Amino acid sequence: MGKAKKTRKFAEVKRLINPNDSRLKSVQEKQKSRQEKKAKEAIHNVPQVASSLFFRHNTALGPPYQILVDTNFINFSIQNKLELVQAMMDCLYAKCIPCITDCVMAELEKLGPKYRIALRVARDPRFERLPCTHKGTYADDCLVQRHKCYIVATCDRDLKRRIRKIPGIPIMYISNRKYTIERLPEAYGAPA
């Protein structure tokens, strides 16, 4: 008994349209115009301004402070055994109202049972719930857009970098197992 011989079938390939075919030109032009349109919409030019001009840009910020909380900020607070509201008040020496957007809640719910403690903390009645009107549930974009009279609490490097480009928004983060605030001159723990 020998091996069964298989006959090869030659020239069986899918027929492809030549990339230079005139039928594809209109489709390619449409795609190119869509991409250019998306590229124009994606570019946000925010003028670079010194953060020392803080109160010129954001005079609405004052006690009681409203603090926009990010998903990872809640998670790191739990890991560092920090009680959110109390630690915020210890940092700012004023009344603090933690605010949570629908996007952040959706993000916590998506993370599943591993983050159920963070979800329980976020559902605390002391937290003010902010509704979202935009499409999608990407929390970082939502937090960057809602910056008028809020302090943004996050530990995410990319989000911090995006927020630093906008003058007048203080950033709260965790350092040495306590909350620290960046770009709020009279606050405790602010870097000099």
Q: Note whether residue 25 is domain-resident.
A: no
* Residue 189, pLDDT above cutoff 60: no
Structure tokens at 135: 């499409």
In the prediction, which pLDDT does 131 show? 87
What residue numbers bound the domain in which 117 lies? 51-182
Give the CATH number for residue 70: 3.40.50.1010
Flag whether 34 is in a domain.
no
Lowest mean pLDDT among 3-12, 38-47, 53-62, 70-79: 53-62
| Residue 100 belongs to a domain | yes
Residue 45 lies in a domain: no
Q: Are 65 and 152 in contact (CB under 8 A)?
A: no
Q: Which residues contact 105 (CB under 8 A, 6 or more apart)?
A: 119, 122, 129
Q: Determine the 3-state secondary structure of 58 from DSSP.
A: coil
DSSP secondary structure code for residue 127 in this structure: S
Rounded to two decimals, the pTM is 0.64
Is residue 108 a part of any domain in this protein?
A: yes
Q: Find the radius of gyration of the CA atoms of the chain.
A: 26
pLDDT in tens, 66-90: 889 998 899 999 999 989 889 988 8
Distance CA 95, CA 32 (A): 52
In a domain, 4, yes or no: no
Q: And the tokens for 20? A: 């230079």
Provide CB contacts within 8 A for 191, sequence distance 6+. 180, 182
Instruction: Tell me if 6 is assigned to some domain.
Output: no
CA 53 to chain CA mean position, Å = 25
Q: How many domains does the chain have?
A: 1
Q: Is the pLDDT of residue 64 over 50?
A: yes
Q: Is residue 109 part of a domain?
A: yes
Quick one: pLDDT at residue 188? 44
Tokens (6 digits) for 71: 């998903």
Across the chain, what does the average pLDDT equal?
A: 79
